[in-house]
Structure 1
């Protein structure tokens, strides 16, 4: 029996966010904004943190710097309840960090220092401990210079040998990312990218065709987040389906996809069917979008269930088509 519900492995980044930002002031002048926050973020970091907020026993597996930002980051992970025995520290570069000036409509351009993400790897001696979880989530392929490619494939393959359920997401996908992702696909149970990233690799924008592209190459369940248009789900068994997003006031879209993945993981751990899991995950993403940063207004499992059962549903372009 695994010790943890989920092990979230890979890209963890410190986000420094401010909103609303309509421009960068000229010269040395200043503008005044409403809010600034520091948050745990990243395709593995935000997913792991949100899993912990939602009540899962979560292990963090990543590399941070020995700088002040790394100290804050580690303290925040522990405060959120994540187990950090496999969080390594490296003083040769700074902790991965991003500055996000968030626009009034929730969009967020980014200024990013790759830092420790480029050094992350899982040592052979740590491999089985990193996989000591019901769900093994790998996030960040594309920015994990040492871990991308064969090391990722090795970890996912070992996870399946141990009988784990695997979830997977990437970041900043380009056509070149495909060579890193393709060998991983046969070992992925739940592939949860955005349509933008998945479409970039599949050279298509139609959700059904994109999902079919990845499933034909080994993915068991393909779940494509569509932003304001909800989610397209192509399950291992049964017909594809679409769920609309919830109709909420969007403050910031940072971490919405990562939090959606956390919702899917909660559903897996609880033994829900994929439609119930995707509906809960959509509510998780809505709670995150309502606040600033990758946790937004996410506070607990029970609060998210209440939101799922009370928030209005958006009429999306996909629905209307």
Structure 2
């Protein structure tokens, strides 16, 4: 029996978002926007927050700065009920942060400071606590300079040796990122990348071929998010399948993939089959897309179930 449902390990970042932004004003002029928010974000951070909103017992494992941005991230996570004893602090670098001017169509270019993400690692003495969860999620490969590669492989292998279920995602993947990812794949139960990042590493672009590429390299379940086209799933057992996205008015796409992973993790914890988990995860992502930031309009498990049953699905 584990203490936590999920341990979310890796990339946590402070997002500062403004919406809608159509241009950068000239000189020292100002434009008015409708909304500005600060959120806990990142491929591990947003997933942790959304898991907590959905009612899971969640532990955060990361490094933030000994600065006011680190203070905000920790306080915000604790407000969501996330256990933060493994949120380490450092004065060597500032907390990772991003400024996101969100366009009217939901797209968001980014201005990013790597900061503490490049310093993060899991110390040997923290392994026992970091792995004390039914699901161990590793998010952020590609931006975790000190943890990427052999340290991530070592950690995922330890998770599997303890009998944990593992989920894995990355960020800003390029063809070069694959050298960091490939050794991890035999220890990944659920690989949940976007089709763009998975294709960039695989060098193939059809979801069928992309899923096969990762399955033949050790991944048990490959779940490819396709944006407005839905999700393509290649499960460990049974036939591949595709499910549609839900019809919603998109406000901001920030964190949609991270929230989708939180939905998958919720399904795993609840013992659902993968099809049911994926459909729920799509509803989680839809709720996030309806608001600004990586938690958007996500408010609870029950509300998400209601949305899943009420929202219209797009045609495939």
1:170 shift after superposition: 0.3
Determine helix, strand or coil for the equivalent of 1:106: coil
Query: Match for residue 271 of structure 2?
Result: 271
1:197 shift after superposition: 0.3
1:157 shift after superposition: 0.2
1:107 shift after superposition: 0.2
TM-score by structure 1 length?
Answer: 0.98
1:144 shift after superposition: 0.3
Query: Match for residue 257 of structure 2?
Result: 257
Determine helix, strand or coil for the equivalent of 1:309: helix
Query: Match for residue 10 of structure 2?
Result: 10
Which sections of structure 1, spanning at least 5 residues, go unmatched? none
1:128 shift after superposition: 1.5
Deviations, residues 167-196 of structure 1 (Å, cap 9, x unaligned):
000000001100000000000000000000
- What is the rounded CA distance, in whole Å, between the counterparts of 1:128 and 1:174 in structure 2? 32
1:59 matched to 2:59? The reply is yes
Query: Match for residue 188 of structure 2?
Result: 188
1:229 matched to 2:233? The reply is no
Query: Match for residue 307 of structure 2?
Result: 307
Matches within 5 A, 1:86-235: 86-235=86-235
Deviations, residues 8-61 of structure 1 (Å, cap 9, x unaligned):
000000000000000000000000000000000000000011000000000000
Structure 1 consecutive aligned stretches of length 4 or more whose deviation exceeds 6 Å: none
- What is the rounded CA distance, in whole Å, between the counterparts of 2:84 and 2:67 in structure 1? 17
Query: Match for residue 30 of structure 2?
Result: 30
Deviations, residues 50-82 of structure 1 (Å, cap 9, x unaligned):
000000000000000011111011000000110
Query: Match for residue 81 of structure 1?
Result: 81
- What is the rounded CA distance, in whole Å, between the counterparts of 1:92 and 1:218 in structure 2? 37
Matches within 5 A, 1:31-46: 31-46=31-46
RMSD over aligned Cα atoms: 0.4
- What is the rounded CA distance, in whole Å, between the counterparts of 2:203 and 2:149 in structure 1? 21
Corresponding residue pairs, total: 316
Which sections of structure 2, spanning at least 5 residues, go unmatched? none
Query: Match for residue 19 of structure 2?
Result: 19
- What is the rounded CA distance, in whole Å, between the counterparts of 1:115 and 1:257 in structure 2? 22
Query: Match for residue 245 of structure 2?
Result: 245
Deviations, residues 264-303 of structure 1 (Å, cap 9, x unaligned):
0000000000000000000000000000000000000000
- What is the rounded CA distance, in whole Å, between the counterparts of 2:23 and 2:166 in structure 1? 41
- What is the rounded CA distance, in whole Å, between the counterparts of 2:237 and 2:58 in structure 1? 28
1:314 shift after superposition: 1.2
Determine helix, strand or coil for the equivalent of 2:310: coil
